[in-house]
Amino acid sequence: MIRKFTFGTPVPTDAVVLSLPAETGPVPFFTLSRDGDRVILTRKLQPEDCLFGLGESVRGINKRGSLYRSWNSDVFNHTESTESLYGSHNFLLFFGPECLFGVFLDDPGRITWDLGYTRSDTAVITSENGNLDLYFVEEASLSETARSFRRLTGQSYLPPRWAFGYIQSRWGYASESEVRSVAEEHRKRGIPLDGICLDIDYMDDFKNFTWRKDAFPDLKHFSAGMKKEHIRLIPIIDAGIRKEKGYAPYDSGEKGDVFCKKEDGSEFTAAVWPGICCFPDFLREDVRRWFGSLYRPLLEAGVEGFWNDMNEPALFYTDESVEAAFRRAEELCTGSSVDYEEMWSLNNAFSSIANNPEDYRSFLHEVGGKPVRHDLVHNLYGAFMTRSAAEAFRRFDPEKRYLLFSRSSFIGAHRNGGIWQGDNFSWWSHLRMALQMLPNLNLCGFLFSGCDLGGFGCNVTEDLLARFLQLGVFTPLMRNHSALHTREQEIYRFSSWEQMRDTVRVRYALLPFLYSEFMKAALSDGMYFRPLAFDYPEDRRAVRTEDQLMLGEGCMIAPVMEQNADGRYVYLPEDMLMIRFRSPEDYDPVPLEKGDHWIRCGISEFPLFVKKNHPVLLCPGGESSETLDDRTFTALCMADRDVSYDLYRDNGTDPAPTLYGHLTKAVVPLAAQGSSPVPGVAISSLVL
Ligand code: MIG
């Protein structure tokens, strides 16, 4: 059951697809209060209550105990205490012995989530603007509540099949020859690869929708050549458009009056990579159409995938924010020296030049012909940029699925694209953070997601990259990405590249299986990754497990996330089959009983756990998703009855993926168990 309440005059956010009548009268589950514009929801928490949700945010799977703010932010450098990341996903599930419901604030402005932070027994959710639709979702189980919420917000984005391949990315690849060499280094070593991202360096002076003619003289020819080798180019597009007469996107934008303005009617400008930029008003339909049409030359050059960046939007500086800092400096530096308090003020004055709150208050959008201050709808900007791109791809070729993932997002954008988890660091703690974020992203609809494997900022270590990749085997987006000036992070840069290659090869052996698991989750409004609580709500241990995830219908992952560890403890809420992988050809299937287990996992090993009567299908793999042999499978299953498997197998780009069928051939005959080298485990081969 879904109930809706409306406060003030909400701006359309495109978050929900069902239009429900708003109720009047008291809201359920919370005490409601007002403070000026603010709408405040307060609820007592019982000791055992757990909170799941908030999508992209730091800390645990269970969000209880901390404070979060919905305010999309460019936060390279984020840590455990960062309150806001790149996206705002305002859905939270309350789960305890006496409660089970979800609350969704369809509110694009700033929200504070004090989830047992100020008082450990109280949750306080504050909408700062007070213009919002408030939804309560109540169903019989956690999974059903999640499903009901997705019915409200719409089916998750479906990427093309090739997007499940391994993608190599690095800020700095600047020419055809560099990209070609990355491709060759992978191919020559047998490291599977499906895509290479082009970061801002492919552009002419970082100007959107241009590319450097010296470095990419014939992009169409180049991309066609790469595609023949089953490698896609995935260029980046940023939000800001450089203000420069003679640059076509600026000229047409100015002509169409598409850019956000200040109150005095002048164009709002701020510096980002290309220098001084204007910002398209993505909230306007005509502007989305205009911006979307700018992707066309790249689509015509054969590009089938994009990533959208800097769309919080990130602002390096404005004239105003620089002036304010200098003014403050002048105020402080009246004498010849400053005391330590003044020194810190000075420091703050300059560090708030970027992404300054005043700047976000200083420009306007147009909604329904009326001006709306940016800060009141801030969290929609990236989502509407994604929408603009997705709508353009559908217009360009309605028969095809494109890859699209964005940095900034809001619920609703999950229908149009995936997201990556932003600028993480090459830290073990960020490996754990990535894992913990994934189920909450899924809960908010973002199934196609993954982190920068190896870590974006600072220098990766060889073992950390290996462990990141072992998580990446299971994340729908499997992309190795790193920042300019950091240690080179391509697999082939490391002495143990063969082990990492084998890890990627396992991904490809599992690709048809993981693709099917993804499609089943997406098409049924389900979750690809779930907290263990969803499958074992009665199991107190499972409910509090923070370092393992359920995957698809019957799997569980538990990656090693500590340096120098030779394994880890894993909690099995029921009997499961462990498959400890070293390569697609070399793995240990081990049936394990419910309970705690020390699982040995040397640096080149990683486990997958599978519930009884759920087969895992391994194919022989291949160097790309398009060349892998997906007709020959080894099915592994701990079975006490005949089982079958629903396999999705299609051309990978049709708008609707097709179910190959109830894979009757995947029936694992009980008899096979007798001949299995592992007692109790059916290992059968099948050829489609
Ligand atoms: O200010 O395009 O998150 O993935 O490599 C940094 C350069 C801009 C931020 C993205 C990152 C990308 C980088 N970008």
451 touches ligand 1 (CB under 6 Å)? no
**What is the distance in A from the centroid of ligand 1 to the CA of 354?**
15
Distance 402 CA to ligand 1 centre (A): 21
- Using a 6 Å cutoff on CB, does residue 309 contact ligand 1? yes
CA of 420 from ligand 1 middle (Å) equals: 11
Q: What is the pLDDT of residue 685?
A: 74
DSSP symbols for 281-336: -TTSHHHHHHHHHTTHHHHHTT--EEEEESTTT--SB-HHHHHHHHHHHHHH-SSS
Ligand 1 centre to CA of 309 (Å) is: 7
Q: How far is the CA of 536 from the centre of ligand 1 (A)?
A: 39
224: three-class secondary structure by DSSP: helix
Asked if 481 and 170 count as a contact pair (C-beta separation under 8 A), the reply is: yes
Contact 601, 608 (CB under 8 A): no
Question: Using CA atoms, how far apart are residues 86 and 668, in angstroms rounded to an integer?
Answer: 45
pLDDT at residue number 33: 98
Tell me if 238 CB under 6 Å of ligand 1: no
Provide the mean pLDDT of the chain.
95
78 CA from centroid of ligand 1 (Å)? 14
Strand order in the sheet with 132-137: 2-7, 132-137, 99-106, 91-96, 50-53
pLDDT of residue 682: 79
| Position in ligand 1 atom list of the atom nearest CA 314 | 1
What are the backbone dihedrals phi and psi of residue 234, each rounded to the nearest 5 degrees, phi first? -125, 90
At CA 325, angle to CA 319 and CA 326, rounded to 5? 90
> Are the beta carbons of 618 and 509 closer than 8 angstroms?
yes
Tally of CB atoms within 10 A around 441: 28
Is 171's C-beta closer than 6 angstroms to any atom of ligand 1?
yes
Closest protein CA for atom 4 of ligand 1: 423
Nearest CA to ligand 1 atom 8: 310
**Distance of alpha carbon 663 from alpha carbon 352, whole angstroms:** 58
Show the tokens assigned to 475.
């994340």
> How far is 571 from 532, CA to CA, in rounded Å?
10
Q: Which helix (H) or strand (E) holds 568?
A: strand 567-572
Instruction: Answer for the pair 382, 409: CB distance below 8 angstroms, yes or no.
Output: yes
Pick from 310, 317, 451 the residue to mutate for probing ligand 1's pocket: most ligand atoms within 8 Å of its CB: 310
- In this prediction, the residues of the chain whose per-residue pLDDT falls under 50 are none
Ligand 1 atom at minimum distance from 200 CA: 2
Gap from CA of 82 to ligand 1 centroid (Å): 18
Beta carbons within 10 angstroms of residue 263's beta carbon: 12
Contact in structure between 10 and 4 (CB atoms under 8 Å): no
Query: What tens digit of pLDDT does each residue of 209-252 get?
Result: 999 999 999 999 999 999 999 999 999 999 999 999 999 999 99
Round to whole Å and give the CA distance between 559 and 103: 31
Predicted pLDDT at 543: 98
């949750």: which residue's tokens? Answer: 123
> Best of 170, 173, 199, 424 to mutate for ligand 1, by most ligand atoms within 8 A of CB?
199
**Closest ligand 1 atom number to CA of residue 76:** 3
| CA 475 to ligand 1 centroid distance, Å | 21
**511 CA to centre of ligand 1 in angstroms:** 28
The residues facing 683 across adjacent strands are 636
Ligand 1 touching residue 281 (CB < 6 A):
no
- Considering the entire predicted model, what is its pTM? 0.97
Q: Verify whether ligand 1 is closer than 6 Å to residue 200 (CB atom).
A: yes
Whole-number pLDDT of residue 282: 98
pLDDT of residue 345: 87
CA 575 from centroid of its chain's CA atoms: 31
> What pLDDT is attached to residue 631?
87
247 is written with which tokens? 């640059």
Look at the block and give the residue holding tokens 């001006």: 371
Q: Which residue has the tokens 């260029």?
A: 235
pLDDT at residue number 679? 77
Residue 233 CB neighbour total at 10 angstroms: 25
Kindly report the number of other CB atoms within 10 A of residue 218's CB atom: 12
- Asked if residues 589 and 579 have their Cβ atoms less than 8 Å apart, the reply is yes
From the alpha carbon of 170, which atom of ligand 1 is closest? 5
Q: How far is the CA of 186 from the centre of ligand 1 (A)?
A: 23
Q: Which atom of ligand 1 is nearest to the CA of 273?
A: 1
Tens of pLDDT along 673-687? 666 778 778 777 777
Check pocket membership of 172 for ligand 1, CB cut-off 6 A: no
- Crossing angle between the packed helical segments 176-189 and 219-228, to the nearest 10 degrees: 0
CA of 445 to the centre of ligand 1 (A): 24
Question: 354 CB under 6 A from ligand 1?
Answer: no
Cβ 199 under 6 angstroms from ligand 1 = yes
β-bridge mates for residue 491, sequence order: none
Q: What whole-number distance in Å separates Cα of residue 685 and Cα of residue 688?
A: 10
Map residue 251 onto helix, strand or coil. Answer: helix
Strands laid side by side in the 111-115 sheet? 31-35, 38-44, 122-127, 111-115, 67-70
Taking the C-alpha atoms of residue 687 and residue 633, their distance in angstroms, rounded to an integer, is 6
Are 616 and 635 contacting, i.e. CB atoms less than 8 angstroms apart?
A: yes
So what's the pLDDT on residue 434? 98
**117 C-beta neighbours (distance < 10 Å), count:** 16
Task: Say if ligand 1 is within 6 A of residue 407 CB.
Answer: yes
Please confirm whether the linkage preceding 297 is cis (ω < 30° from 0).
Answer: no
pLDDT value, residue 641: 82
d(CA 584, CA 581): 7
Q: Is 120 exposed, middle or buried (0-12, 13-18, 19+ CB in 10 A)?
A: exposed
Nearest CA owner, ligand 1 atom 6: 310
Supply the residue whose CA is at minimum distance from atom 5 of ligand 1: 171
What is each CA distance from 545 to 260, 541, 578, in whole angstroms? 46, 6, 18
Q: Cα(594)–Cα(576) distance, rounded to whole angstroms?
A: 7
Specify the DSSP element, H or E, that contains 365. strand 363-367
Size of the chain in residues = 688
318 touches 356 (CB < 8 A): yes
pLDDT on residue 339: 83
Q: Report the C-alpha gap between 303 and 436 in whole angstroms.
A: 32
Atom of ligand 1 nearest to the CA of 171: 5
Q: Is 27 within 8 Å of 39 (Cβ atoms)?
A: no
Confirm if 395 and 374 have CB atoms less than 8 A apart.
no
Render the burial of 307-339: b for 16+ CB within 10 Å, e for the rest: bbbbbbbbbbbbeebeebbeebeeebeeeeeee
Half-sphere exposure of 319 toward its Cβ, with a 13 Å CA cutoff? 5
Q: Report CA(421)–ligand 1 centroid distance (Å).
A: 12
Looking at residue 680, its amino acid is G
Pairing between β-strand 576-581 and β-strand 587-592 as defined by DSSP bridges: antiparallel
Q: Where are the beta strands (DSSP E) in 142-252?
A: 166-168, 195-198, 232-238, 241-242
312 pocket-lining for ligand 1 (C-beta < 6 Å): no
pLDDT per residue as tens digits for the range 96-136: 999 999 999 999 999 999 999 999 999 999 999 999 999 99
Task: Return the ligand 1 atom nearest residue 236 CA.
Answer: 2
Atom of ligand 1 nearest to the CA of 456: 4
- Asked if residue 451 lies in contact with residue 426, where contact means CB atoms within 8 angstroms, the answer is no
234 CB within 6 A, ligand 1:
no
